[in-house]
Amino acid sequence: MVNGIWNRLGIVNEELKAVMLAVPRHLFVDSALAAQAYTDKSLPIGAEQTISQPSMVAMMTNALAPNKGDKILEIGTGSGYQTAILAGYTPRLYTVERVAALSKRAQGLLEQLGYRNVIYKIGDGSLGWESWAPYDRIIVTAGAPAVTAKLKQQLADGGRMIIPCGDRETQQLLCVDRSGDQFRETELGDCRFVPLLGKEGWEK
Beta-strand pair 72-75/135-140? parallel
Q: Which residues form the catalytic set?
A: 52
**160 vs 196: CA distance, rounded Å:** 19
Beta-strand pair 43-46/49-51? antiparallel
